[in-house]
């Protein structure tokens, strides 16, 4: 229970008063964090249903729920919590609520995050969908499938009816590429020839095997489109498409995901931009610890990011700053810290917008170091340092973690 105490604090609320977090959650198989508020109409529609399902089935199966309130004041919180049959984070624990929202990337409510009752590890952040589809808890606690379970066991190989099984795919591939695409999508039809060229000229020899995951509307379109492709495919209309799209958060197509064929671990869930632009000798393009902002600041809207703004700096100044931050970024990545690192040595991509939003003015001959905390309702922090060294970077990060920096609001 130490993990939950660290996450939620020492005390939670019940309808009759406070209770120890450790005592309240002891022995639970799963814990749901229910982010909700009385002022939110979808929340008020979902809460009675969740309460019914919890009381009728889920509580008996070993689930506990903790209400994490986004109400505007304690009076609203008390009125709303009075309708709920589970635990609650005390309304006064606003700092904990903010950390939870940031940790689980809660961008809208109601949101229902399900955690393992023993380790507090995340089972799914899509708990609202899971419980709505299975209100009696038949598949409780709704653990998502592994990559290989979602991928399935058999794939088409060309249009002649030949198939390849999963063991054959894993034996032939070092990296599995999932290509989410469709014939009706113009950007897909533009990208597919580029992917075919890269695959046949370099990437297949480097151990890449691609599986086409189709969003085609019918078998005829699928056949015509897949007939142009030299790789494997999941049949059109197969339910695996929806499972894989959800697993990798595919919101639009074309999308290209790279996965380690031995472990099933995601290498790069946004590899489309690498085709034709990234060096082939760096394949499979593992995300770098310290990234060039001008190539696209992936993840910056969802994760706190340290940014070095050096568009006006001499080349040797930029190089020294990058050399100082690189090992810190690598160590942070190795620890799987929830922190990204970017540098901008030239005025391209989003650099101008970031300068404007943070009020940094025109590029200067000395580096400017900022922490963008967009997940915290658009917060940011500016370092007073005019030199980037391991000491100034670590000091900036330590002050941020200690809450000792002045928070500014993106304008």
Task: Inform me whether the pLDDT recorded for 22 exceeds 90.
Answer: yes
For the cut 80, the answer to whether the pLDDT of residue 1 exceeds it is no
Report CA 192 to chain centroid distance, whole Å. 26
Q: For residue 224, give the H/E element and its range.
A: helix 219-226
> Are 50 and 116 contained in the same domain?
yes
pLDDT digits (tens, 9 = 90+) for 236-288: 999 999 999 999 999 899 999 999 999 999 999 989 989 988 899 999 999 88
CATH number of the domain that residue 88 is part of: 3.40.30.10
Are residues 14 and 60 located together in one domain of the fold? yes
Mean residue pLDDT across the chain = 95
The verdict on residue 14 lying in a domain is: yes
Q: Identify which of 264, 247, 351 has the alpha carbon closest to the alpha carbon of residue 307.
A: 351
Q: Do the Cβ atoms of 290 and 340 come closer than 8 Å?
A: no
Per the structure, how many domains does the chain have? 3
Cis peptide before 111 (omega within 30 of 0): no
Residues 269 and 373 in one domain: no
Mean pLDDT over 166-183 rounds to 97
pLDDT for residue 309 is more than 80: yes
46, 113: one domain: yes
Same domain for 260 and 183? yes
* pLDDT value of position 3: 92
Q: Are residues 220 and 334 in the same domain?
A: no
Going 360 to 363 to 364 to 366, the CA torsion angle's sign is positive
* Claim: this prediction has a pTM higher than 0.85: no
Q: Same structural domain for residues 309 and 405?
A: yes
Q: In what order do the strands lie in the sheet with 266-268?
A: 163-165, 154-157, 232-234, 208-214, 175-181, 255-260, 266-268
Overall average pLDDT of the 310-339 stretch? 95
Please tell me whether residues 176 and 271 are part of one structural domain: yes
Confidence grade of residue 411 (pLDDT, cut at 50, 70, 90): confident
Domain boundary residue, one of 259, 280, 301? 280
Q: Rounded CA gap, 255 and 272, in Å?
A: 6
In a domain, 142, yes or no: no
Q: Are residues 116 and 155 in the same domain?
A: no
State CA 160 to chain mean position distance. Answer: 38
Q: Are residues 165 and 231 both part of a single domain? A: yes
Q: What is the pLDDT of residue 2?
A: 87
Expressed as residue numbers, the domain containing 254 is 148-280
- The DSSP bridge partners found for residue 259 are 176, 266
Residues 241 and 297 grouped into a single domain:
no
* Boundary residue ending a domain (238, 263, 280): 280
Q: Mind listing the pLDDT tens digit for each residue in 365-377?
A: 999 999 999 988 8
pLDDT confidence of 295, banded at 50, 70, 90? confident
What is the predicted pLDDT for the residue at 359? 93
In a domain, 40, yes or no: yes
Count of CB atoms situated within 10 Å of the CB of 199: 21
């Amino acid at each position: 229970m130490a993990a939950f105490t660290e996450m939620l604090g020492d005390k939670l609320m019940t309808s009759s008063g406070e209770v120890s977090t450790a005592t309240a959650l002891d022995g639970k198989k799963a814990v749901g964090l229910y982010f909700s508020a009385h002022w939110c109409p979808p929340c008020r529609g979902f809460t009675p249903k969740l309460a019914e399902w919890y009381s009728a089935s889920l509580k008996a199966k070993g689930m506990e729920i903790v209400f994490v309130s986004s109400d505007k004041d304690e009076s609203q919180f008390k009125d709303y919590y009075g309708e709920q049959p589970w635990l609650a984070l005390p309304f006064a624990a606003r700092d904990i609520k903010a950390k939870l929202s940031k940790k689980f990337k809660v961008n809208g409510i109601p949101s229902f995050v399900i955690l393992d009752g023993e380790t507090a590890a995340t089972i799914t952040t899509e708990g609202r969908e899971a419980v709505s589809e299975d209100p009696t808890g038949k598949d409780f606690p709704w653990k998502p499938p592994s990559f290989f379970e979602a991928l399935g066991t058999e794939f088409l190989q060309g249009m002649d009816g030949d198939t390849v099984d999963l063991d054959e795919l894993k034996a032939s591939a070092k990296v599995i590429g999932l290509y989410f695409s469709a014939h009706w999508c113009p950007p897909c039809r533009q990208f597919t020839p580029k992917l075919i060229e890269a695959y046949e000229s370099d990437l297949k020899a480097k151990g890449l095997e691609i599986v086409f995951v189709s969003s085609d509307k019918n078998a005829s379109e699928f056949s015509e489109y897949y007939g142009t492709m030299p790789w494997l495919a999941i049949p059109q209309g197969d339910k695996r498409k929806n499972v894989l799209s959800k697993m990798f958060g595919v919101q639009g197509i074309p999308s290209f995901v790279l996965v380690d064929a031995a472990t099933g671990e995601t290498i790069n869930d946004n590899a489309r931009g690498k085709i034709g632009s990234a060096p082939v000798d760096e394949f499979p393009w593992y995300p770098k610890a310290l990234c060039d902002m001008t190539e696209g600041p992936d993840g910056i809207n969802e994760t706190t990011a340290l940014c070095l703004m050096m568009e006006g700096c001499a080349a040797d100044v930029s190089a020294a700053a990058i050399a100082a931050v690189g090992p810190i970024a690598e160590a942070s990545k190795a620890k799987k810290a929830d922190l990204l690192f970017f540098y901008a040595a030239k005025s391209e991509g989003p650099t101008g917008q970031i300068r404007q939003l943070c009020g940094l003015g025109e590029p200067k001959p000395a580096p400017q170091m900022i922490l963008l905390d967009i997940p915290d309702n658009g917060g940011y922090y500016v370092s007073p340092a005019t030199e980037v060294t391991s000491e100034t970077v670590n000091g900036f990060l330590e002050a941020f973690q200690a809450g000792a920096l002045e928070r500014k609001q993106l304008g």
